[in-house]
Structure 1
Amino acid sequence: MEPAINIIVSQFKTFAGKDGSSNTLSKEEFTSLLISQLPNFVKNATDPATVDQLMSSLDENNDGELTFLEFWQLIGKLAGKQGGFC
């Protein structure tokens, strides 16, 4: 599992760093990550309304960006669904 965690952290930092800060994902960075890294798990990732709804459900402090811990909620939900736990 350690390699999987390292990949998730690395990908988060790569996409988050596109605007200069590798600590948070902007809406644009989040959209880019969804489209390129989770195309089969997140349906309609190219639809702005879908991204807005998903981002809003994860953005606990409503600052318009996702921290790694906020993003991690999505990974947990997707893994749970993929494993048949949800």
Structure 2
Amino acid sequence: MEAAIGVLVSQFKAYAGSDGSSDTLSRGEFQKLVASQLPNLVKDAGDPAVIDHLMSTLDENCDGELTFLEFWQLVGRLANQHGGFGK
């Protein structure tokens, strides 16, 4: 699990850092990350409406960017669905 956490953190920072700040994901960075890294777990990851909806549900402070903790909520939801938990 430690390796998986390391991968999640490094991927977040790699995508977040494309516009200068490695602390948050802009909408564009988030879309690139989801489309590239989660294409099988996020339906229609290339659809801007899907990305807008995800951003609005994850962006708790409504600043238009996602912190790692905000992004982590998506990881938890996807893991929950993928594992068949909460059905």
TM above 0.5, one fold? yes
Aligned equivalent of 2:44: 44
Percent of matched pairs sharing the same residue: 67
Q: Note the C-alpha offset of 1:74.
A: 0.2
Aligned equivalent of 1:8: 8
Does structure 1 residue 84 correspond to structure 2 residue 84? yes
TM-score (norm 2): 0.97
- Rounded to whole Å, the distance in 2 between the matches of 1:49 and 1:64 is 15
Q: Note the C-alpha offset of 1:41.
A: 0.2
Residue identity matched to 2:83:
G
Cα distance per residue 1:16-61 (max 9 Å; x no partner): 0000000000000000000100000001111111100011000000
Describe how 1:3-82 pairs up with structure 2 within 5 A: 3-82=3-82
RMSD of the TM alignment (CA)? 0.5
- Rounded to whole Å, the distance in 2 between the matches of 1:46 and 1:77 is 19
- Rounded to whole Å, the distance in 1 between the matches of 2:47 and 2:35 is 10
Unaligned runs of 5+ in 1: none
How many residue pairs match? The answer is 86
